[in-house]
C-alpha cells in the first residue's frame, strides 16, 4: 500500500522559489569582481535567474546538457546556478585553482556546451579556447561596459555579458516539472590520483542534503543568521550553503575573489555575520590578521571548519580570544559534501572546554541519512572503540553511487557503501576521527602512524604557521615520519624545539625521525596540504636514523 500524500518532486528550483516568495527582501551581499559591494535580494535573484534561463533555452540548452561555471562566490554566480538547474540542465562547477590541462580535460570530459565565467578567468579561456571543442559560447558574469574593457572582441569570439542577456529576456520561465532524480550538478574530484572524476548530484540528493544541513546538530541555520560563504561554490556546492541559506531566508554574504584575512574580517564586521564556513588555511589568515591589527569579532558566533583537520590552536584562538564556537566537519565531493560534524552530545557538552577538546578535534558524528562503518582491507568490520583503525566507508541518499560516465568502475561494496579512501577510528560515543588518507598513512614496523595527528599538534607550536608530515623510507622500519614546518614570518627555530613540543603528546614510537624547516608547504586545489607533491620533493630523502640496512 502506498501513502496518499501529494507528489511534490524535490527539485532545487523550489528552494529559490521559497526564498523569493517568503523572504523576498532578504539581502545577498557580494564583493564584486569589479570592486564595489553589490546588494541584491532573493526576489531579484529569482527574477534575474529566470531571465538567464530563457537566454539558455534560446541557445538551445535542454535537460541534461552541461553548462559550466568558472567563477568566484557572488550573487551573479548564484543566478547562473539556478538558471541552469531550474530548466533541468546540469550545473558543472569548475575549480579555477586546477592546472590548465586539468581544467581542459574536465570541460571536455563533461562536454560542456556553455561556460559562465568571471572577468578574472577570461585570459584562461582566451588562451585555451581552441582546446574546448564542445563549448559553443562564453557568458561573462558582468555588464557590457566591463566586457569591453577586457578587450576580448575577436579573441573570445561570441562572448556575451550576462547583464545584457538579463536585460534582453523576460522573467516568465517555467522551472521544474521533471523527475527529482534528474541530474542537477556536476563537480569533479581534485584528481590526486589519475584523472579527476565527476560526481553527478541529483535534484533529490541536493534537496535532502539541504534539509540535513539545517538540523541544529549540523549547521543549524535560520532566517536570523547572516552567513559568510567563504568556502567556494566550486567546492562541492559551497558545502550546500547556496541551497541552505535561501531555504531559510538567511542573509548571504559572498566574498568574491578577495579572501585574505583583512577582506574577510571587513565583511564579517560590516555585514554583521553570525555564521561562516571555510577550510583551516582561511581561518589561519584571518587570525593572523586580527593578531597583527588587534581587531575583534563582534557578531560572529559559529564557524564550520572542514576540508582538512583543524589544529587545536585554531579552535582555542576562536574560543579563548573571540568567543566563537568552532564546529569541526568532514566530508568530500562524493558526499555532497557533509558527512560528519563534531557538535557535542549532552554528555560532552557538560564537560569543561579542555575536556571537550579531544572530541572537538575529531571529525564528529553522522547526521540522519548518513551511515558509516570501518573495515579492514578484506572488508571485515572494525570495532567502534576509538583505537582500531579501519577504512572509512559511507552510504546514504546524497552519497555517490558511481562516477560520471562510469569512470573507475563500481565504487560501492556489497552492502552499498562507498570507500572514502580515508583511514579512521570511531569511538564508543560515535565520534569519527580521520587518522589519514589511506595513501598517506605511515606504516612503521607493521603498525600505523597518523600523520594528521602529528601535524595538528605540531601546528600548535607558537612558531609554526603550517606543518606537514610524510612517511620516508627507512631500512629497518619500512617508513618513519618526517616533520616539515613552515615558520611564521620572522621566526627561527631548531628541530629540538618541535620534538620537545611533541614529547608527551604522541606515542614515543610516533616521534618524527627528523624535522625540516621549509619556505613553503604546497596546498592543492581544494586548500589541503598536497602530500603527493611533498613526497615528490623529498623523494630519496635520507633520515638521520637511516643507517646501513639491517639484515
Active-site residue numbers? 189, 334, 443, 448
Contact 459, 488 (CB under 8 A): no
∠ CA(67), CA(73), CA(76), 5° rounding?
60
Pairing of strands 442-444, 464-474: unpaired
Helix H, strand E, coil C: the string for 233-286 is: CCCCHHHHHHHHHHHHCCEEEECECCCCHHHHHHHHHHCCCCEEEECHHHHHHH
Q: What is the distance between the alpha carbons of residues 432 and 68, in angstroms, rounded to a whole number?
A: 35
Tell me the C-alpha distance between 238 and 261, whole Å: 19
Q: In which element (H, E) is residue 338 found?
A: strand 338-341
User: What grid cell was written down for 196?
Assistant: 579527476
Task: Judge whether 96 and 73 are in contact, CB under 8 Å.
Answer: no
Which residues fall within 8 angstroms of residue 259, CB to CB, at 6 or more apart? 230, 282, 285
302: number of Cβ within 10 Å: 18
Query: In the chain, what is the straight-line distance between the N-terminal and C-terminal CA atoms, in Å?
Result: 71
The Cα–Cα gap between 380 and 433 comes to 19
CB atoms closer than 10 angstroms to residue 49: 27
The helix/strand/coil state of 420 is strand
Rg (CA), the chain: 24
| DSSP H or E segment with residue 373 | strand 371-375
Label the pairing between strands 183-188 and 198-202. Answer: antiparallel
**Best CA proximity match to 132, nearest among 68, 225, 79, 210:** 68
Please give the C-alpha separations between residue 308 and each of 195, 278, 355, 437, 455, in angstroms, as whole numbers. 21, 10, 22, 11, 11
Would strands 325-331 and 27-31 be described as parallel, antiparallel, or unpaired? unpaired
Amino acid at each position: 500500500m502506498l501513502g496518499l500524500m501529494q507528489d511534490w518532486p524535490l527539485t532545487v528550483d523550489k528552494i529559490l522559489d521559497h526564498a523569493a516568495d517568503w523572504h523576498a527582501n532578504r539581502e545577498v551581499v557580494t564583493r564584486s569582481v569589479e570592486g564595489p559591494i553589490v546588494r541584491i535580494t532573493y526576489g531579484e535573484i529569482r527574477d534575474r535567474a529566470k531571465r538567464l534561463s530563457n537566454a539558455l533555452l534560446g541557445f538551445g540548452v535542454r535537460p541534461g546538457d552541461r553548462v559550466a561555471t568558472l567563477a568566484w562566490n557572488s550573487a551573479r554566480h548564484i543566478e547562473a546556478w539556478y538558471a541552469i538547474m531550474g530548466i533541468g540542465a546540469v550545473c558543472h562547477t569548475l575549480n579555477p585553482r586546477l592546472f590548465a590541462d586539468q581544467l581542459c580535460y574536465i570541460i571536455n570530459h563533461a562536454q560542456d556546451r556553455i561556460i559562465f565565467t568571471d572577468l578574472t578567468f577570461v585570459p584562461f579561456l582566451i588562451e585555451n579556447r581552441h582546446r574546448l571543442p564542445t563549448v559553443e559560447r562564453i557568458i561573462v558574469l558582468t555588464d557590457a561596459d566591463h566586457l569591453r574593457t577586457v578587450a576580448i572582441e575577436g579573441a573570445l569570439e561570441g562572448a556575451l555579458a550576462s547583464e545584457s542577456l538579463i536585460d534582453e529576456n523576460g522573467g516568465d520561465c517555467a522551472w521544474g516539472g521533471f523527475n527529482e532524480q534528474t541530474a542537477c550538478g556536476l563537480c569533479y574530484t581534485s584528481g590526486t590520483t589519475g584523472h579527476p572524476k565527476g560526481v553527478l548530484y541529483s535534484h533529490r540528493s541536493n534537496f535532502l542534503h539541504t534539509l540535513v544541513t539545517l538540523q541544529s546538530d549540523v549547521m543549524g541555520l535560520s532566517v536570523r543568521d547572516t552567513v559568510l560563504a567563504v568556502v567556494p561554490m566550486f567546492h562541492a556546492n559551497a558545502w550546500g550553503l547556496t541551497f541552505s541559506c535561501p531555504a531559510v531566508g538567511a542573509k548571504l554574504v559572498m566574498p568574491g575573489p578577495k579572501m585574505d584575512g583583512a577582506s574577510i574580517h571587513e565583511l564579517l564586521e560590516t555585514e554583521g555575520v553570525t555564521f561562516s564556513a571555510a577550510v583551516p588555511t582561511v581561518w589561519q589568515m584571518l587570525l593572523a590578521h586580527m593578531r597583527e591589527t588587534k581587531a575583534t569579532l563582534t557578531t560572529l558566533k559559529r564557524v564550520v571548519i572542514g576540508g582538512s583537520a583543524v589544529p587545536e590552536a585554531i579552535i582555542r584562538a576562536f574560543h579563548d580570544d573571540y568567543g566563537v564556537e568552532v564546529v569541526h566537519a568532514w566530508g568530500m565531493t562524493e558526499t555532497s559534501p557533509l558527512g560528519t560534524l563534531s557538535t557535542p552530545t549532552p554528555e560532552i557538552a557538560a564537560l569543561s572546554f579542555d575536556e571537550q577538546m579531544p572530541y572537538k578535534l575529531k571529525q564528529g558524528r553522522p547526521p540522519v541519512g548518513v551511515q558509516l562503518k570501518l573495515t579492514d582491507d578484506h572488508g571485515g568490520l572494525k570495532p567502534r572503540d576509538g583505537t582500531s583503525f579501519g577504512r572509512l566507508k559511507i552510504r546514504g541518499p546524497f552519497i555517490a553511487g558511481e562516477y560520471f560516465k562510469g569512470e573507475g568502475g563500481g565504487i560501492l561494496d556489497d552492502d552499498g557503501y562507498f570507500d572514502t579512501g580515508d583511514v579512521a577510528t570511531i569511538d564508543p560515543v560515535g565520534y569519527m576521527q580521520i587518522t589519514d588518507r589511506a595513501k598517506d598513512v605511515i606504516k612503521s614496523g607493521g603498525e600505523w602512524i597518523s600523520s594528521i595527528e602529528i601535524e595538528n599538534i605540531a601546528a600548535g607550536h607558537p612558531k609554526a604557521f603550517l606543518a606537514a608530515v610524510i612517511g620516508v623510507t627507512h631500512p629497518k622500519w619500512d617508513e618513519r615520519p618526517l616533520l616539515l614546518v613552515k615558520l611564521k614570518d620572522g621566526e627561527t627555530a631548531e628541530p629540538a624545539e618541535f620534538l620537545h613540543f611533541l614529547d608527551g603528546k604522541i606515542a614515543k614510537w610516533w616521534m618524527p625521525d627528523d624535522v625540516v624547516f621549509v619556505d613553503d608547504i604546497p596546498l592543492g586545489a581544494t586548500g589541503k596540504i598536497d602530500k603527493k607533491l611533498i613526497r615528490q620533493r623529498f623523494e630519496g630523502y635520507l633520515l638521520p636514523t637511516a643507517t646501513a640496512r639491517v639484515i
